[in-house]
Amino acid sequence: MVISVITSVKNPSAGIVAHCREVQSQRGVEIEHIVADGSERPLAASLQKGIKDTGSRYLWKPDNGFYQGINNGISVTRGDYIHILNLSDGYMSNNILNRVSKDLRKDRINACAVETFERGKCGGKPFGKWRLFLNQRHLPHPGLILSRNLIKAVGSYKENYKVAGDSEYIFRCMRHFNLLSIPRVLVKMGKSGISGTYQKTGYNEYREILKKEYEIPVLFDVIYYVRVLLSYAKGK
């Protein structure tokens, strides 16, 4: 089994090489790591060499956004499963993909949700649709591993989204397949991702997705603001 890991970036810093080293430090499983760079200009030759020296692959293809970068990365992968890992994220241990791969192989899973660790709390225990709605948070793509068969059936990420394209994709997946939850913590998420940077945009996009899926956007707003007030009161 080969797991393809895709990191979609734009104008990455020298930290991209350390990120590649961390991905390649996974043990007991065959990894293919693609750095999909959507910048207008390619990285400096020294950084490209640094990426190559880790065993990762550098793909330069100017894109119009994060999700187009993911699609560009997927188009050149060869893995049986695909995992999207942000530059600011990291794996919880150097054998976690090996453990998850055994779960995938044993149950012949097409898609699975794995817990993520974000800002001190474990999160990302779906499914299905109503738990996603009541939790008022989308499952971040670093907590999702998809089979190549599923991606062929569901298609590409929609590139018009800025933040919530992963949510829309997950709902599409659930129309085709059952998504199973594996009780392992896969990724430690950073704080500098696009969902944290563009929170209002993410909320509006997610609301539109829920409107299509549930046709109850007003209830979504009510639950959202109740949760905000409770969170504020708890903080006080």
Tens digits of residue pLDDT in 161-218: 888 888 888 888 877 777 777 777 888 877 655 555 556 676 777 777 777 766 665 6
**C-alpha triplet 137, 65, 158: angle, nearest 5°:** 60
HSE toward the beta carbon, residue 63, CA cutoff 13 A: 22
Q: Which CATH superfamily is domain 2-235 in?
A: Spore Coat Polysaccharide Biosynthesis Protein SpsA; Chain A (3.90.550.10)
Higher-pLDDT residue of 202, 87: 87
* DSSP, res 114: E
129's enclosing H/E stretch is helix 129-135
Q: What is the pLDDT of residues 88-135, one digit of tens each?
A: 899 999 999 999 888 888 766 676 666 555 444 434 444 455 555 545
Q: What is the pLDDT of residues 24-82, one digit of tens each?
A: 999 999 999 999 999 999 999 999 999 999 999 999 999 998 999 999 999 999 999 99
Q: Tokens 């950073």: give the residue.
A: 190
pLDDT at position 217:
59
pLDDT at position 120:
42
Contacts of 213 (CB under 8 A, 6+ apart): 129, 171
* DSSP, res 77: -
As a whole number of Å, the end-to-end CA separation of the chain is 49
Strand 2-9 relative to strand 90-91: parallel, antiparallel, unpaired?
A: unpaired
Domain-wise residue ranges, the chain: 2-235
pTM: 0.80
Q: What is the pLDDT of residues 219-228, one digit of tens each?
A: 666 766 676 6
CA dihedral sign, ordered 123, 186, 56, 31: negative
Q: How confident is the model at residue 229 (pLDDT cuts 50, 70, 90)?
A: confident
